[in-house]
Structure 1
Amino acid sequence: MTSATKRLSPYLHFTREAWASLRDSMPLTLSEEELAQLRGINERVSLDEVTQIYLPLARLLHLYIDAVKNLYEATHVFLNTSARKVPFIIGIAGSVAVGKSTTARIIQALLERGPGNLVVDLVTTDGFLYPNKTLLERGLMDRKGFPESYNINALIEFLCNVKSGRPRVTAPVYSHLIYDIVPDQKIQVCRPDVLILEGLNVLQPPAHKATEHNPQVVVSDFFDFSIYVDAKEEHIRNWYEQRFQTLRVTAFRQPNAFFYRYSTLTEEEAHRVALEIWDRINGVNLHENIAPTRNRADLILQKAADHSVESVSLRKL
């Protein structure tokens, strides 16, 4: 990046070392055993990574959470109304297999164990995918994960209710084993201090130009802070193939698994199938829908080939 580009960038850019220096006194509250429970398949997040990357991020989020709380209170003082608890919402976006879920779980754990004993709920947008029956009827099964495969109206209604301070809001449950919405199961969100929403397309801009009679409301309108987990496509593609190989000999072997048919593939066959799926579906979604939202995030975590975060970009105020 040239010096001129850096001056024009809306972000402040940090090396891993420079970012790590911003940790201050944030305590490390995770053990190696606890971290192992938070890691995704084939991810190698270490305690050093948590210390250098996620503790400074947790400190920053605590500062933002306190600032937004004070802003809400100041507004209610001005309006002469009584303030009520409204969750701080964090959105986490990025490609399939880039490590969004692990990032979300680590942030949740650190915020819960940090100052203030915050209550932090985590919801993924998978639960707002249309059921397979609907996707089949609409010819969208091969577009699962693309923006049109989600019930965006239901997701926005959910976020609106959460951000309105409703005491109890529910979200659908998705099973990666059966690859579908689980009937009659709901996640309860009961006015937490923080809600983390993780998903591929949570930073999508409006699909159409807003008009007076058709205002465009998007998911990110409800975010107080947003994170994009990034990496070179060649790395993400490799991670996806590695995850597919692991699932082939584990979860896919369960008789009720949607992808049970892949459990009989040889390693070489699985390699070809995984890359074909990537090139036909996930890679297309990344190029067309996910990557273009990168610079809408407040913070970008840039990963190296080994899944470690090598740099951080924070949007300027």
Structure 2
Amino acid sequence: MTPEGLARLILARADGPGRFLVALAGPPAAGKSTLAADLAARLPDARVVPMDGFHYDDRVLEARGLRSRKGAPETFDAMGFLHLLRRLRDEDEVAIPLFDRDLEISRAGADIVLPSDRILIVEGNYLLLDRAPWTQAAALFDLTVFVEVPEEELVRRLTDRWRHHGRPDAAQWIESNDLPNIRTVLTGSTPAEIVLRPA
């Protein structure tokens, strides 16, 4: 299915009262953020809600011995994220956190979901993870989509990403951190209603 086809499907399925929440899941560097922005631009009254705003701060990760595993499921405030999803279903106006990749920090209340935002494209690695407490998310989505990209292409994209951000240990970081996270998503996610395999 193309992004155009997916947008048409979402529009047809969202033809009803209340908010319509789409889970856009996939491994790191699969292109979720780009696709989410593309879908939101194609749809009326739509916006993106990233999961990445729930990264624990580096100081918390250091204290828990998880700094070297940043981006793994246990390095996110999963319960906080689930609480946000429930608020997005029930409340008209909700503040959301955003992750600043340049600063490597989450900013609380960095954006606002407004009453006019009727279609929400929620994007993140672990939206479909078959592991508690992430499994609670499934019931909160109206449509689930998984972006599937070959591992070698993900590594290529991540190499470009970390070079862009000036990370000197990019290859080591990908091997020790990003690849385990990629494999967790690919092998540990429940099936999505729609699987996209970008060309």
The CA deviation at 1:177 is: 1.0
The CA deviation at 1:242 is: 2.1
Is residue 54–residue 107 contact of structure 1 (8 Å, CA) maintained in 2?
yes
Report the equivalent of 1:153: 79
Equivalent residue for 1:104, pick from 36, 40, 55: 36
The CA deviation at 1:246 is: 3.1
Q: Which has the higher contact order (CA 8 A, sep 6+)?
A: 2
CA, structure 1 residues 186+163, in 2 after alignment: closer, same or farther (shift >3 Å)?
same
> Aligned ranges for residues 177-192 of structure 1 at < 5 Å?
177-182=102-107, 185-191=109-115, 192=117
In structure 2, the residue corresponding to 1:105 is in which secondary structure? helix
Equivalent residue for 2:164, pick from 221, 246, 257: 246
Is residue 145–residue 285 contact of structure 1 (8 Å, CA) maintained in 2?
yes
Report the equivalent of 2:120: 195
Report the equivalent of 2:96: 171
Report the equivalent of 1:59: 8
Is residue 28–residue 181 contact of structure 2 (8 Å, CA) maintained in 1?
no
The CA deviation at 1:240 is: 1.2
In structure 1, the residue corresponding to 2:177 is in which secondary structure? helix
Distance across 1 between alignment mates of 2:112 and 2:188: 29
> What amino acid is aligned across from residue 192 of structure 2 in structure 1?
A
How many residues were matched structurally?
Answer: 198
Normalised to the residue count of structure 2, the TM-score between the two structures is: 0.91
Q: Does 1:124 align with 2:78?
A: no
Distance across 1 between alignment mates of 2:64 and 2:82: 21
Is residue 92–residue 226 contact of structure 1 (8 Å, CA) maintained in 2?
yes
Is residue 24–residue 127 contact of structure 2 (8 Å, CA) maintained in 1?
yes
In structure 2, the residue corresponding to 1:296 is in which secondary structure? coil
In structure 2, the residue corresponding to 1:197 is in which secondary structure? strand
Report the equivalent of 1:42: none
Report the equivalent of 1:223: 141
Distance across 1 between alignment mates of 2:162 and 2:80: 30
Q: Which runs of 5+ in 1 are unaligned?
A: 1-18, 20-52, 70-84, 112-117, 209-215, 249-261, 263-269, 303-308, 311-317
Is residue 56–residue 76 contact of structure 2 (8 Å, CA) maintained in 1?
yes
In structure 1, the residue corresponding to 2:125 is in which secondary structure? coil
Larger radius of gyration: 1
> Aligned ranges for residues 257-296 of structure 1 at < 5 Å?
262=167, 270=168, 273-287=169-183, 289-296=184-191
Report the equivalent of 1:50: none
Distance across 2 between alignment mates of 1:298 and 1:105: 20
Distance across 2 between alignment mates of 1:277 and 1:202: 23
Normalised to the residue count of structure 1, the TM-score between the two structures is: 0.58
In structure 1, the residue corresponding to 2:165 is in which secondary structure? helix
Distance across 1 between alignment mates of 2:189 and 2:137: 15
CA RMSD of aligned residues (A): 1.9
Distance across 1 between alignment mates of 2:159 and 2:57: 26
